Structure 1
Amino acid sequence: MTSQGLRASPEGIRTAKIALTDKTLSQHKLAVSLGITRQPVSKFFAGEPVSRNCFVQICQQLGLSWQKVAGLPENIAFQVGAKVRTDSIDTDKLVYELRQKRQDKIHDQCSTLQMLDIAQPILLSDIYTNINILEEITSQKWLEISELLKDFNPDLNFNRLGGDKQPRSLPGLEAALRYSKLMMLGKPGSGKTTFLQHLAIECNQGKFQPHLIAIFIRLKEFAEDAKSENEFNLLKFISQEFLSCGIDEESTTTILAQGKALVLLDGLDEVPSSQADKVTRELRRFTQYYYKNQFVMSCRIAAQQYKFPGFTEVEVADFNYEQVEVFVKNWFFAVAHKSREDGEATGNLFIHQLNLSENQQIRELAVTPLFLHLICLVFQEKAGFPFNQTKLYEQILNILLTRWDEVKGIKRVQAYHNLTIAAKKQLLYHIAAITFEQGNLFFEQEKIQHIIADYLGNFGNNNTDLSEVLLKEIEVQHGFLVERARGVYSFSHLTLHEYFTAKNIVENHQLNFGENLVNQITKKHWHYILFLTVSMLPKTDEILWLMKHKIDSLVSAEVKIQDFLIWLYQKSGSVSTHYKAVAIRAFYLVCVGRTPQDNYLRERLVQACRHSFVYSAGVVTRKDNLSSCCQLRSFIHTPNYSLECALLGDIAFNPDLALDEFLTSTLTCVSELNFALKHSLKNAIFIDHVHALSIAFNEALELLSESEFKQVLHNLKKELPQTDHNSHNFREWWQTNGQLWGQKLRNGIIKYRNIGHDWQFNQQQIELLHQYYDANKLLVDCLNCAVNITPLIRQEIEETLLLANCHIKH
């Protein structure tokens, strides 16, 4: 200690540096978080004298005892402290007293959530899920559309418009610790208010910034009170709230002047536009005058153009997979009132179903907390996800257009008063349809404004300036459009883009629209549009017939594929089962799809392996699992046997089907072994395929009764060397004999079971069969969701699925 202030001891400096590292702070960030200049922080770590107030603030921010850092004995420290910093000790005592008085108020303000369509409030501590934030604002990136598309894969991404390379994020609490002035930007329903309430409760309980007093302010309420009193004075507003807790104005001012408050300012975008400028000016004045305090402000992204001095802007990130899982399990405990154990079990079932391929669109919406809450409500009511999800999308549309603001008591100024809610919906459908038909998932701002201007022309308004205002209204107030980079937009979720496009077709279709629509059936990205359209059409006979004829025409001119379909018909007819014939045809179509077509596909695999494996000194080492290559080996990519399951449902055990399933697997394993040898895959991979072959082979033998074919398989099994003790011997044996052994197996399966044929499809035929399979799966889904279809039409379509031309005519 000196007459000028306090200095850290050598040991204190070492302790402080460790604490600085542990909190991932730099000296600059520490100074910013305290609202002071860099100079006293530099002096502190250099062991130079620092003013008593700054010294204590630095130690408190680092979570250290200022007495110990200064190297003062405990018994002396109290006496010295009492002597030299009476004001500081009085302030600390005041903070303690005020925290006690404010505790109940903060608990009342922030400890519960009023969730949409839930009658009673929900405890925040029961439902809260930690959020992440992005330090780089999405809309401020300088990216071209081509750059956004580069990493975009709708089949792989959890949020299909989120990009394959997810931006770097950090936990919300860490951001709140790192920055003393934080502006939280986010989409509607992204969890901004919930996060601010969580900060208030954590501070109130001494778990976050325990040396500060939490002040939670809904800016909409401040604006309303200020307007009624015609005085936009935030200090007065806070003082009045503190008075209700028994705290006088002098104490309130002292706390703010000493920087002892955590000020949480929620919902800047919810301030009525007539008061927005006055509120913004008062916030700027207040945050600059009381700069020592910590501030966290929330606002919808793109709603606030003014940049508050000293504030770091961050964006609330979409939920990741882990956060979705935590939220769901919390939801079924807190909202559905299940026990923790039952909530966990229901949550696990929810997550399992969410991960199924048919729920991809729901999975995409689940990254937004508000939408995830709605999805949980639907799941609870139906004990599963609906096959037809259009009602869920319509509910989301209505919530974002009107209900979300109504629930929160917000009345926003409309850019164009003549545009009703119904007209706004039509505008969204119009934008979606035009951009989707043009193949544009991302679009320039100028392009979207032209579409809006053309639409407004229908209402006799040719004011082109209004289109930009209306675009911002759709973005800010409703959140349907999102700025993905500077001047580049997309719909917030690809699912909504697809739904709006389908709605436009249903509500605005013209004569012969069905023919134009079914012409898109070979384009995979149009499939969900077709499915949604059929599910919403009042009459579906015509479009379903058009789809059926279009699908049959895809392969009508291919002689080899027609021969294959004839075999499919004959083979399925030889099976004794209670299932419909079309379901058995689907089963064998899948079986053939899992059997490699050696000639063409092997060449494709070599090319694919350049991306999936790393070659080193003639040896292939694994970079990723084999799944990508295995998928290329079959001309039909059938996750979970989707067409088969759509027709059969849960397949009960049938000995014929089971036997052919295992025999098909043996042929697949043989091809895997040949591939592993040809490309010098490491021994562990080779042995995996050997074991898989052994399992499939033995299961097939178990299913066969005594017969000539069973003896053939027994003889083939005897030829295989044992692998238990020496896998090297098996590899050498297969190198010499594998091709011949595999051919004998294939010949036996063809002779006795009429499966396993090598159809020798070329590349074009394989791609055509891909399209044929996917289109048939789509047609089956449409049959299952169609409401008004004539029973006879349904029967005729089902009975002629997966048939050759000659059998359809017959």
Structure 2
Amino acid sequence: MTSQGLRASPEGIKAAKTALTDKTLSQHKLAVALGITRQPVSKFFAGEPVSRSCFVQICQQLGLSWQKVVSIPDDETSEITAKDKFNDFDINALVQKVRQQRQDRITDQCGTLQLLDIAPVIPINNIYTDITVSEEISSQQWLDIADLALDFSHKSNFHSLTEINNLNKLPGLEAVSRYSKLMVLGKPGSGKTIFLQYLATECNKGEFQPKRISIFIRLQEFAEDTQDDGELSLMKYITQEFISSGIEEKATATILTEGKALILLDGLDEVPSAYVNQMNREIRRFTQTYYKNQFVISCRLGYQNYRFPGFTQVEIVDFNNKQIEVFVKNWFVAVAHKSREAGESIGNLFFHQLNLLENRPIKELAITPILLHLICLVFRVKSELPSNPAKFYEQVLNVLLVRWDEVRGIQRYQIHGDLTLEHKKKLLSQIAESTFEKESHFFEIAKVQHIISNYLNTLPNIYTETGQWQQDMATLFKVIEGQNGLLVEKSREIYSFSHLTLHEYLTAKNIVENFSYQDCNNLMNNITDERWRQVFLLTVSMLPNAEDMLWAMKKKIDLIVVNDEKIQGLLIWLSRKSQSVSTSYQAVALRAFYLVCVGRTPQEEPFKKSIFAAASTYEHKVIINDHIHTPSCDLEWALVGNIAFNPDLALDEFLTSTLICAIELNLAVESTLDDAITLDHVQALKIALHQALNLVTEDELKQKLQSLEKQLPHLNSNSEKIYQWCQSQGKYWIKNLRKILISSRDIAHNWQFNKQQIELLQQYYYANKLIIDCLNQSAYINQVNQQEIKESLLLAFTETNQ
């Protein structure tokens, strides 16, 4: 066989011709490149025998494995393999030797990170946080908007775009171990590069894939460094890099041929557009030729349509709470140069603030590593989260649209050359408001293309030549999607903004930039819609003069209940009751306090539930403590700590709680006979009444309450006796209590609101809470007007318009 030489198989000849075409070579040019005559090259492609040395040289020049190209009878395969392959011992020794020679190179290339707005480099192991990936690519789902909306709940998790079909999640390292060819997709700043660098350093240390050698290549640099050669050759690029580490070309070829490399190709989306097609061909050819190696390629979502044969795609999943916590603690140790103990302490404080209800929009950004890094930067200076959200969100936009690419020296394809940063922001703002108004965070691509077309028509000085982008809106949209990652494909041709917080901010930004009397009135139509809460807050904070908007809000709030006589009666009572209390608190705070007392009291018939339910606890605390202080505890603690200074408020609170406990006891008995639950309700009722009695100073009221106390069932009673008491005396007891509280304290009126009135009161309450928050957000309203608006809240229409 050796004397006759080697011949190519039919499949091998086909692969060689494909490689010859891909490299834009002819047989003559191939022979010249090898320094041999044309004859052996012609024989090679004709399937005739050529010398072994020529055969191997031709395959190597074409980037093919000669073992896959050669046609060898089965009985001779082992002989050639034994002569031309290292045994396992030699291969392992070679891997260890090459890894040792490349140790410093990988450490220098991948061992540190240059973080945005941080001067010193950071060791990667000091800050790396394990990522999670999903085997379900969101853009490859066949779902419609209705399906996506079902998984998006404003009530239970308002500021989180829940990932769809993320049941098939697994740790990033496990995905690399499971698949020999892996494409890692992710949003900008989701951690793709740091993941590949981490793989390289762990392999370099022998902690991951210990029988392989890591090769890390930034594809942008690869394209730029080889542009003078006229061709992209990964084999040549890797060989030259190995030579710089003192590794011979033969050893490099052996490593790749035997599949002993972990090849990490980073940033496919960062390749200059002129090289994209050529790069795809080279990666496809190289990964097929040296198929035994492990390959991981990273790329942004929305950028790569071409699928490399044999590659499994996974998508990086947003950080969960645990990953955020780990990242933050590592950050304050590594970046802020704190000790481990101090860094974790600051991290705990950060994480606590991030989880506060009012910081939900900030937390919604923290699911992306680059944005979590920005939040940490702010916290490091002020020990608090961004105090001016609108300003911070603008900085986030700048990072995603421009700075994140600039600091890494990435030049992306320009949208018709002259679309400036401000044009991009305005376009995105128009898309945001238009889609937000349609009550959906998901929208079809055709909708966005229409908005883009209309916007480009307003820029005649830029788009005057051929209008080519207006003929191909799909192309323009894909460029916008891939370049900044603000729009992400959630299903086939259905998109959303990458973060709900940015969708809200851009909506508010567009409202502010185009603010008019008509726009203000349109916005007021959404004042009771919780979905618009952040838009209102952001709009007020950005308007140079928010007084007109705030007064418009006030008038709209009054109109919510203006036509309901019973609710107007409630507001008249609120005013009367608040005026009867001697306290330093402002009247609006007292009206809020008594409104919550009404809202917390369950409706006995027919609806039984309280008007504001559990939400009233948080809302009441915020409104009232706007005039006192803002503890981060629940209502019960706040009342014990604050209204103790005012006997009237404290007494009315405990008397209201007594009534609530009595009603809830009766309702509980009707639904269960569980001893433990029933006794809990009895004990709660006794405690509330006892606390009220401790504050009563009027003898007559005290005697009446003590008489009621004696009528209550004993705590040692079983549930059956308590049930009998509720059936025979419970409702009568509650009726007497109400009668006493109305005559003595002017509280506990049985308003008997119907379902529609309860809904109106909930909307009214929510809208009043919203305007209080907006008043606190606005930096451009004078104190006189601010106070005037506050003092006019929670009043009957006849009182507020006097």
So what's the TM-score if we normalise by structure 1? 0.82
8 Å CA contact 1:723–1:730 kept in 2: the answer is no
The equivalent position to 1:529 in structure 2, one of 532, 535, 548, is 535
What's the CA shift string for 1:94-132, capped at 9, x where partnerless?
112222222222222222221111111222222221111
The equivalent position to 2:624 in structure 1, one of 631, 640, 644, is 644
State the partner residue of 2:799.
807
State the partner residue of 2:544.
538
Q: CA deviation at 1:379?
A: 2.5
Q: CA deviation at 1:511?
A: 4.6
Q: CA deviation at 1:771?
A: 1.3
Question: Are 2:119 and 1:105 aligned?
Answer: no
Q: CA deviation at 1:232?
A: 1.3
Following the alignment from structure 2 to structure 1, what is the Cα–Cα distance between the partners of residues 331 and 673? 47
State the partner residue of 1:298.
298
8 Å CA contact 1:110–1:197 kept in 2: the answer is yes
What's the CA shift string for 1:587-620, capped at 9, x where partnerless?
2222221111222422xx6xxxxxxxxxxxxxxx
8 Å CA contact 1:539–1:788 kept in 2: the answer is yes
State the partner residue of 1:320.
320
Following the alignment from structure 1 to structure 2, what is the Cα–Cα distance between the partners of residues 297 and 165? 23
Query: SS of the residue aligned with 2:226?
Result: helix
Amino acid corresponding to residue 383 of structure 1 in structure 2? S
Change (3 A) 1:133 1:738: same
Question: Are 2:651 and 1:659 aligned?
Answer: yes
8 Å CA contact 1:158–1:364 kept in 2: the answer is no
8 Å CA contact 2:130–2:323 kept in 1: the answer is yes
8 Å CA contact 2:601–2:611 kept in 1: the answer is no
Query: SS of the residue aligned with 1:601?
Result: coil
Query: SS of the residue aligned with 2:299?
Result: strand
Change (3 A) 1:443 1:138: same
Following the alignment from structure 2 to structure 1, what is the Cα–Cα distance between the partners of residues 166 and 775? 37
8 Å CA contact 2:673–2:720 kept in 1: the answer is no
The equivalent position to 1:714 in structure 2, one of 706, 709, 720, is 706
Query: SS of the residue aligned with 2:295?
Result: strand
Q: How many residues align?
A: 707
Query: SS of the residue aligned with 1:666?
Result: helix
State the partner residue of 2:199.
199
State the partner residue of 1:473.
479
Q: CA deviation at 1:202?
A: 2.0
State the partner residue of 2:779.
787
What's the CA shift string for 1:719-773, capped at 9, x where partnerless?
3333358555444444443333333333333333322222111112111111111
Following the alignment from structure 1 to structure 2, what is the Cα–Cα distance between the partners of residues 511 and 318? 40
Q: Compare 427-436 and 740-749 and name the one that shifted more.
A: 740-749
Change (3 A) 1:687 1:245: farther
Amino acid corresponding to residue 491 of structure 2 in structure 1? A
So what's the TM-score if we normalise by structure 2? 0.83
Change (3 A) 1:588 1:346: farther
Amino acid corresponding to residue 517 of structure 1 in structure 2? L
Change (3 A) 1:248 1:548: same
8 Å CA contact 1:261–1:293 kept in 2: the answer is yes
Q: Equivalences for 1:350-749 in 2 at 5 Å?
A: 350-460=350-460, 461=463, 462-463=467-468, 464-602=470-608, 633=613, 638=618, 641-650=621-630, 653-655=642-644, 656=647, 657-680=649-672, 682-705=674-697, 707-723=699-715, 726=718, 729-749=721-741
Query: SS of the residue aligned with 1:155?
Result: helix
Following the alignment from structure 2 to structure 1, what is the Cα–Cα distance between the partners of residues 99 and 243? 14
Q: Compare 362-371 and 459-468 and name the one that shifted more.
A: 459-468
8 Å CA contact 2:302–2:488 kept in 1: the answer is no
8 Å CA contact 2:262–2:295 kept in 1: the answer is yes
Amino acid corresponding to residue 623 of structure 2 in structure 1? L
Following the alignment from structure 2 to structure 1, what is the Cα–Cα distance between the partners of residues 710 and 127? 61
State the partner residue of 2:745.
753
Q: CA deviation at 1:52?
A: 11
8 Å CA contact 1:597–1:633 kept in 2: the answer is no
8 Å CA contact 1:156–1:164 kept in 2: the answer is no
Following the alignment from structure 1 to structure 2, what is the Cα–Cα distance between the partners of residues 244 and 710? 94
Q: CA deviation at 1:86?
A: 6.7
Change (3 A) 1:370 1:724: farther
Q: CA deviation at 1:259?
A: 1.0
8 Å CA contact 1:153–1:163 kept in 2: the answer is no
What's the CA shift string for 1:564-585, capped at 9, x where partnerless?
1121112222333322221122
Structure 1 unaligned blocks of 5 or more: 1-35, 37-50, 54-81, 606-629
8 Å CA contact 2:112–2:123 kept in 1: the answer is yes
Following the alignment from structure 2 to structure 1, what is the Cα–Cα distance between the partners of residues 154 and 478? 26
Change (3 A) 1:601 1:378: farther
What's the CA shift string for 1:536-555, capped at 9, x where partnerless?
11112222111111111222
Query: SS of the residue aligned with 2:531?
Result: helix
8 Å CA contact 1:635–1:767 kept in 2: the answer is no
Q: CA deviation at 1:495?
A: 1.6
Change (3 A) 1:348 1:668: farther
Q: CA deviation at 1:414?
A: 0.9
State the partner residue of 1:763.
755
Determine what percentage of the aligned residue pairs are the same residue.
Answer: 55
Q: CA deviation at 1:282?
A: 1.3
Q: CA deviation at 1:391?
A: 0.7
Amino acid corresponding to residue 188 of structure 2 in structure 1? P
Structure 2 unaligned blocks of 5 or more: 1-64, 66-76, 631-637
What's the CA shift string for 1:13-62, capped at 9, x where partnerless?
xxxxxxxxxxxxxxxxxxxxxxx9xxxxxxxxxxxxxx999xxxxxxxxx
Amino acid corresponding to residue 347 of structure 2 in structure 1? G
8 Å CA contact 1:635–1:766 kept in 2: the answer is no
8 Å CA contact 1:179–1:312 kept in 2: the answer is yes
8 Å CA contact 1:662–1:697 kept in 2: the answer is yes
8 Å CA contact 1:111–1:201 kept in 2: the answer is yes
Question: Are 2:161 and 1:182 aligned?
Answer: no
Computing the radius of gyration from Cα coordinates, the structure with the larger value is 2
Change (3 A) 1:341 1:587: farther
Following the alignment from structure 2 to structure 1, what is the Cα–Cα distance between the partners of residues 78 and 333? 49
